[in-house]
């Protein structure tokens, strides 16, 4: 996904399965950025996200008259999520249809719009994570889901498998020791 221009991937699975952590670690590896730089570009899905919290805000210094207007317009201070090459939408299914709509043009065209201004994102990579449905989630409409080139299930081993993982390692190492003695 990171190697494809404007790659988009949806990681879905159970709570605590490492979906967001995986996306963050991949961002560190592919961009050579530290965890704080990657974390700054994470958009956390929440039903109360506004356009300003998703995209950016107007320049406060210009609004207060402390800074000159450029071209007669108040400048937009774009959020790190918008300007970053590595974008993570954590728990995308917690975004309201309004929030999803704001992101649609970013995913489809690489452009965001706010207060009659546009920002061309350039090349980017988007990882969105999605947990199982519950009362705090919203359905993702087909036009929104269609913007993700890949959807990958992230699964965790069940409890019995987790218990046996360590035992298999010990059994393998014991059998390898026996093989070593057999060869001698």
Q: What is the 3-state secondary structure (H, E, C) of the chain?
A: CCCCCCEEEEEEECCCCCHHHHHHHHHHHHHCCCHHHHHCCEEECCCCCCHHHHCEEECHHHHCCCCCCECCECCEEECHHHHCCEEEEECHHHCCHHHHHHHHHHHHHCEEEECCEEEECCCCEEEEEECCCCCCCCCCCHHHHCCCCEEEEECCCCHHHHHHHHHHHHHHHHHHHHHHHHHC
The yes-or-no verdict on residue 15 having pLDDT over 80 is yes
125 strand-pairing partners: 7, 86
Name the least confident of 38-42, 65-69, 128-132, 156-160: 65-69
Query: 180 pLDDT band (50/70/90 cuts)?
Result: low
pLDDT in tens, 43-58: 999 999 999 999 998 8
Q: Measure Cα distances from 17 to 23, 33, 131 in Å.
A: 12, 23, 9
- 133 versus 174: the higher-pLDDT residue is 133
Nearest to 149 by CA among 9, 2, 4: 9
183 or 51: which leads in pLDDT:
51
pLDDT band at 10; cut points 50, 70, 90 = very high
| Residue 12: per-residue pLDDT | 95
Mean per-residue pLDDT over the chain, rounded: 85
Residue closest to 74 by CA, chosen among 89, 53, 60: 60
pLDDT value at 175 more than 70: no
Residue-wise pLDDT for 87-146, tens only, equals 999 999 999 999 999 999 899 899 999 988 899 999 999 999 999 988 889 999 999 999
Tokens matching residue 61: 């210094």
């Amino acid at each position: 996904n990171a190697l494809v221009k404007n790659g988009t991937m949806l990681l879905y699975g159970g709570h605590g399965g490492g979906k967001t952590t995986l996306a963050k670690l991949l961002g560190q590896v592919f961009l050579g950025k530290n965890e704080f730089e990657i974390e700054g570009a994470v958009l956390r899905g929440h039903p109360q996200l506004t356009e300003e919290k998703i995209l950016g805000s107007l320049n406060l210094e210009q609004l207060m008259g402390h800074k000159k207007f450029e071209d007669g317009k108040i400048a937009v201070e774009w959020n790190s999520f918008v300007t970053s090459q590595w974008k993570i939408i954590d728990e995308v299914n917690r975004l309201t249809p309004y929030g999803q709509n704001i992101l649609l043009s970013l995913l489809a065209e690489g452009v965001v719009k706010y207060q009659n201004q546009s920002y061309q994102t350039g090349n980017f990579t988007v990882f969105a994570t999605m947990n199982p449905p519950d009362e705090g989630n919203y359905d993702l409409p087909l036009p929104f889901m269609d913007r993700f080139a890949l959807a990958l299930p992230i699964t965790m081993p069940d409890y019995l498998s987790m218990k046996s993982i360590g035992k298999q390692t010990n059994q393998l190492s014991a059998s390898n020791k026996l093989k070593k003695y057999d060869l001698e």
